[in-house]
Chain A
Amino acid sequence: MNFVRRYLLPRLITYFLVIWVGITMIFFIPRFLPTDPVQQFINRLVAQGTYMDPKAIEEMTETLKELYGLKGSLWEQYINFWKRFLKGDFGPSYYQFPTPVIILIKQSLPWTAWLLLVTTLLSWIIGNILGGLAGYFSNRRWVKILDGIAMVIRPMPYYILALGLLILLAYIIPIFPIGGGFAIGMQFTFSWENLLILLKHAFLPALSLILIGVFIWFQAMKLVVQSVKSEDYVKYAKMGGIEEKRIVRRYVIRNAMLPQITGLALSLGQIFGGALITEIVFSYPGIGTLLYNAIFTGDYNLLMGVSTLSILLITTSILLIDLLYPLFDPRVRYR
């Protein structure tokens, strides 16, 4: 009972409060921007040559406001939004009207989710193992080599690294495709051959993310381990003649992992936001470009759909980590 009252309840209250504030903010902020979704839609229609006389434009503006749910005061729109949201409905996308937002998200999310999930986990695992070892055995030669590589890759702008990989492995040595998520002209059905095609298309974007990711985790972990290994209890363990492998695994890495676990939770939560630059450089289908287009075209509903799910995912993963933390860190205990 004490756990519920003193530990769980405050966290749950904060959790729902953050969600409410976040969603309220993403409802209001786009509406205060000068971008008008109705006008953006009409602009796209006429800018490319569709003939609309001025009178027709005025009539269409009214129709679209009605259809987009942009009539009425902000407060009315806000209430209507919550009514829809609680039923799991984000309304239609404006820039792909009248397709429901949820369909657009469903189409784009799996691409982003699997690419980012795999690369985030892989880079976290590899980066932490390498960083942990490098932090403990910091005087070894291989550590210095890894440090050198990290010094080159880590500060490199991601766009340049990604483009460099693309030019190297899709143009100079044309092993991988220039872009896209799946082979041109092929039917999208499940088979081993198609799985290989999917992997082939995901390889370069994944490689670019892993390269950067590994060295980010590597450097962070190395610093933490170096700090932990100078702690008294590590020195004491050494003096006590405990086997070095055990010291590294149980005493150093385990303790150094705590901030990394928090970092992983945050990274996983951010998956929903997509990897915009990756998707643009490798023309990889995903939620990033969808979100970018939503911002660019003033597509409030799509923006809200993606952001809301992102908020839910980030806050939920933080809540889960918060609840699970005592399992990892014996110093955190609820009374």
Chain B
Amino acid sequence: MKKFLVILFVVSMFSLFFAQQLPPGIPRNETFIADNLTGRAANPGNFNIWATWVWNDRGIQNLLLEPLWCVEYATGEIINALAAEPPKYNSDFTELTIKLRKGVYWSDGVPFTADDLIYTIELVKNTPGMGYNSQMQQVKEIVKVDDYTVVIKLNAPNSRFHTYFLDRWGALRPLPKHIFEKVEDPLTFDFNPPVGTGPYVLKGYDPGGYWTLWERREDWDRTPTGMLYGMPQPKYVLFITYGGPEKQVLAMAQHQLDAADLTLEALKAVLSRVKTARAWRRNFPWTVNIDPCVTGLHFNTAKEPFNNPEVRWALTLAIDIVEYAANAFDGAVTLSPIHIPLTTAYYNWYFTKLEDWLKNFELDLGNGEKFKPYDPTAGFRLAEYAKKRGYPVPDNPELIKRIFGPGWWKYAPDVAAKLLEKNGFYRDKDGKWHLPNGELWKITITTGTNPAHPGYRNAFAAAQAWKKFGIDVTVQTTDAAATLDQRGEFEVSTDWPAAEPWGGHPDLFRTLEPFHSKYIRPIGENAPWGNYARWSNPEMDKIIDEIQQTTWGDTKKLIELGVEGLKLLVKEMPTIPTFNYPGVIAWDEYYWTNYPGAENMYAQPYHHWPNFKYMLPFLKPTGRK
């Protein structure tokens, strides 16, 4: 017995030393390992994302399922995935015709047809608690024209109904009718093993929720991904939660993680320690600057003095954006003076069209004095800061504009003072600003508790800028920031300054609609996402209504209307856009190369986005074992 125990101990120690990270039959060089952005799955055996939302980024949305359409913000296009062509509406937007791609099969060998789409919509519509249940109430009737054509009739005109099926980081994706129709309760159904139209199938998952392993389908060519882009290169894809950034750095250093979403500090650690690692941009500022979100500050325009646009402008001009960006992200950001992010597509659609207007835009300082606040050199000043910090910065002005931003607002504290004095504010002998009623001006900025998040960093950078200007500012960090924002129980907050646009289409309906006056709610009631500032304007209402009457295909008119909406937001400045969401992503090129970096922007760069499956066919194995 004693001998047996000794042998058992030796064998176990041996296995401890030599155990492989991946099990036999799953070669590391045929496996792509990515971190799971949303972390450990609490219910890892559940793949029914139609009933639950969380953890769909562990391969469910990005490998297993295909949407009808998918936004590709790197190229600015909309990919027809399960749909064969763009959506078609009738003239009054009460009917939507969807043509489906032929030859697509579910992973269990059943063909994908119109019946699946019709069943999905009907099931979701009739099951409260399923995602998109409330949106699908707009459906009056669904007509099956043939196996690959569906006409959806709506209760009321809606020119954007198809966007519920348009994948960005979530959409109503068709589910397999032949599986769900046998299910008694679709809400509690686990959908395990899952069946999909995407190029991978489930190979295994961790009962503790830390990893999910996928295997490429033998018939990958019967999926939209295969048909559009060819065979995904990795035979296996593993999504894993190693834990915090320090664990991800350790895993990357051991080549146990190919792609990770990190903090800027962790990225710097990876780049300095792992010779084969890279970021989206190979040099400073490294960060992804084509993310379709712009970060910034919200004023609560339902509260004094933030109900006054001149006060909001004064606070904008009290910010030295270079110092601000340096404080927030060591300058590794792309500035955006307007309420949409500077992606390549938006640069062409909007920034170029607004540039002259921005240069000529004037503020009225009173007594006939005017001031042009736009600073087209802001991006260059930020580049100069980076150079001083010792980072390599290109000389090409066009490239500098694209990397650091085309411009921002001038740092003009003297002009800000004039605007405030015009409105009765005054400074005391210590340089502190007082409200018109004589009280010391105190501002509280509300933000979340994650120090790595741009919202958090915007809050502290703004506090520093406004303190320097002479305002007494405090930052309130709270896990309840989102709820407080929605209820309007804040003065200034750091949520997105406007709802995210699509990223891959010039339509700004999604960005502007929350500002419609019909959605304005008093303080204490939940405001719709995108308008915590509780700002509205009749002119904006008109623009939104007109966009709603414009077909998704009329991009020229959509851009014209979008430009007008953005101008109005600049004039009123209910929220301050500061810089693009700086996506901090690292890749290890030890096993795989040809990632879609800034120099090779064929796809969006995140592994957690649904379009990850469209990136995989382009990866190249290095041949390292």
Point out residues on A near B: beta carbons under 8 Å.
33-36, 39-46, 48-54, 56-61, 63, 66-67, 93, 95-99, 103-104, 107-108, 111, 163, 166-167, 170-171, 174-188, 193, 196-197, 199-200, 280-285, 289-290, 293, 295-296
Contacts and interface: CB of A to CB of B under 8 A. Distances in A.
Nearest to B495: A47
B124 to A, nearest CB: 12
Interface in B463-495: 478-480, 482-484, 486-487, 489
A185 B253 contact: no
A175 B168 CA distance: 41
B188 interface: yes
A293 B42 contact: yes
A67 B52 CA distance: 13
A40 B482 contact: yes
Contact of A98 (B129, B137, B240): B129
Contacts of A184: 21-23, 206, 211, 213, 238, 240
B170 A51 contact: yes
A280 B129 contact: no
Contacts, number: 201
Contacts of A59: 134, 137
Contacts of A187: 204
A54 B23 contact: no
Contacts of A196: 12, 15
B154 interface: no
B207 A56 contact: no
B203 interface: yes
A253 to B, nearest CB: 30
B529 A46 contact: yes
Contact of B53 (A45, A56, A171): A45
A104 B135 CA distance: 29
A36 B128 contact: no
B529 A57 contact: yes
Interface in B483-538: 483-484, 486-487, 489, 499-500, 510, 513-514, 516, 519, 526, 528-531
Contact of B484 (A34, A163, A181, A296): A34
Nearest to A103: B43
Contact of A53 (B43, B52, B513): B513
Contact of A285 (B40, B254, B484): B40
Contacts of B204: 185-187
Contacts of A285: 40, 206-210
Given A44-B54, A98-B129, A293-B42, A181 B170 contact: no
Contacts of A199: 12
Contact of A171 (B23, B160, B253, B486): B253
Contacts of B163: 51
A48 B169 contact: yes
B250 A99 contact: no
7 contacts: A51-B166, A54-B514, A57-B528, A174-B254, A180-B206, A185-B204, A188-B206
Contacts of A178: 242-243, 247, 250-251, 254, 256
Given A43-B529, A179-B210, A185-B26, 18 more contacts: A35-B479, A35-B483, A43-B486, A44-B53, A45-B53, A50-B168, A54-B530, A58-B528, A66-B128, A93-B42, A178-B243, A179-B242, A179-B243, A179-B247, A183-B23, A184-B22, A283-B241, A296-B479
B526 A61 contact: yes
Given A51-B166, A184-B238, A39 B22 contact: no
B16 interface: yes
B16 A176 contact: yes
A167 B247 CA distance: 9
A98 B52 contact: yes
A182 B207 contact: yes
B286 to A, nearest CB: 23
Interface-centre pick from B22, B54, B168, B246 (highest chain A CB count, 10 A): B54
A49 B250 contact: no
Contact of A50 (B19, B46, B169, B243): B169
Interface of B: 12, 15-17, 19, 21-23, 26, 40, 42-44, 46, 51-54, 128-129, 131, 133-135, 137, 160, 163-164, 166, 168-171, 187-188, 203-204, 206-211, 213, 238, 240-244, 246-247, 250-251, 253-254, 256, 292, 478-480, 482-484, 486-487, 489, 499-500, 510, 513-514, 516, 519, 526, 528-531
Contacts of B23: 183-186
Contacts of B164: 51
Contacts of A182: 206-208
A95 B254 contact: no
Contact of B246 (A41, A163, A188): A163
Q: Which 6 A-B pairs have the closest CB atoms?
A: A285-B208, A50-B170, A54-B528, A49-B169, A59-B134, A34-B480
A292 B233 CA distance: 38
B500 A49 contact: yes
Given A51-B164, A170-B250, A293-B42, A200 B16 contact: yes
Nearest to B136: A56
Contacts of B203: 185
Contacts of A41: 53
Contacts of A166: 247, 250
B7 to A, nearest CB: 12
A49 B43 contact: no
A167 B128 CA distance: 48
Given A166-B250, A181-B206, A186-B204, A54 B243 contact: no
Contacts of B42: 93, 95-96, 99, 104, 107-108, 290, 293
A51 B514 contact: no
B21 A177 contact: yes
Contact of B43 (A107, A281, A289): A107
A67 B134 contact: no
Contact of A181 (B210, B516, B519): B210
Contacts of A67: 128-129
A50 to B, nearest CB: 3
B427 to A, nearest CB: 35
B487 to A, nearest CB: 8
B52 A96 contact: yes
A280 B244 CA distance: 8
Nearest to B519: A54
Nearest to A167: B250
A39 B482 contact: yes
A43 B499 CA distance: 12
Nearest to A48: B169
A57 B22 CA distance: 43
Given A61-B526, A179-B242, A99 B43 contact: yes
